[in-house]
Amino acid sequence: MKIAIFHNLQKGGALNFVTETVRQLNKKHNVDLYCFEKNISTSLFNKTHLSKLNKTNNVFTSMCQIFFELKTKNQEIADKINKKKYDLTIVFPSTLTQSPYVLRYLNPKNVSIYIFTETKREFYEKTNYKKTLKNLICKIIRFPIKHIDRTNCKHAKNILSISQYSAHLLSKIYKRKSQVVYPGMKFIAPTKILTSNNKKLLSVGVLQKIKGHDFSIKQISKIKCQFTILGRKNKKDETIKKLIKNKTNIKLIHDENNQKKEKRYKEHSFFLANQNKEPFGLSTLEATNYNCYVFGKNEGGTSEIIKHGINGFLYPNRIKTSAKALQQKIHQKNVVIIKNCKIDWKESTEHLLYLYHYLKNEPTE
């Protein structure tokens, strides 16, 4: 089967979703990639079609690029995909517009699936640590992107959401229905696991307010423990650095190596999933996969991974309540986890292919 993959993503959970899905698809199918940056190993693909965008850091030139250059290049990519007549085209989000322009131009007679992960969150949530005039002006200038995102999404023929919460947002904001496939997650028979308690806690995610690192720092402020924040470098680094200044029990690490990240999970007994309304949370899934006991806010997609009292503890968005629960658990000698899910990219990729066969009206293998 010939498959086309389109994405315009930066490093992070969504790009890992693309990479791992391709690893599975590539075992039996020919997969071509269409993108703007070489941020996935080209060896994973049958062929890579790269369309470079001009680099810009200015908000005004960036908007012009989104309106003109990005739209034109998406149309060119769609034309190439249409001419090659792929059996399946999988469209992942765009960092710049969320729902990519390419959705407008794909041939509706061919099978395509848009992977909906989240909204353009800056338009619906508080994503900055501070309210500044600069942030407000940028938000106003970029407001047309909100319209572009919604319009592009309307053109998606078939949509797959990454959680029930994600599907809810899609229905509420975009008025679209979708199928749900949890990326990389497989439910398993509950297994009791007893782990030693080293009083070490971990939080993973880019240093933005929506990742909840500030909540975690306040949460553990009066608890004797070692807390590590593993986050990609970001312009918001200074806010986090100020919060952890003179705190010897908190360590900030910038490291994007996936193998090292796996080691970090195994070195910690607890994981803090304090992301604000995270649509799914691959880092939360990774934590439970590596037998961390997860403490998380009972919101977004976190509660679809963590079952309260089984493989973690869920609490409302309140510092005092969460800190008390954490303190009680962290002083126990051992930690008992009932593991009920694990990472299995083959499982979620097969669900994606089942959806393709259903849309194609062909029997599955």
pLDDT at position 103 is 98
Nearest-angstrom CA–CA distance, 212 and 216 = 6
Nearest-angstrom CA–CA distance, 100 and 306 = 31
Model-level pTM? 0.92
Nearest-angstrom CA–CA distance, 158 and 179 = 9
Give DSSP secondary structure letters for 140-180. HHTHHHHHHHHHHHHT-SSEEESSHHHHHHIIIII----EE
Nearest-angstrom CA–CA distance, 152 and 137 = 24
Nearest-angstrom CA–CA distance, 93 and 242 = 33
Q: Minimal CA–CA distance to 42: which of 54, 28, 31?
A: 31
The series of mean pLDDT values per 10 residues for the chain, 365 residues long, is 96 92 95 93 89 86 93 98 97 96 97 95 73 72 91 97 97 96 96 92 91 94 94 74 89 80 93 95 96 96 94 92 90 90 96 93 54
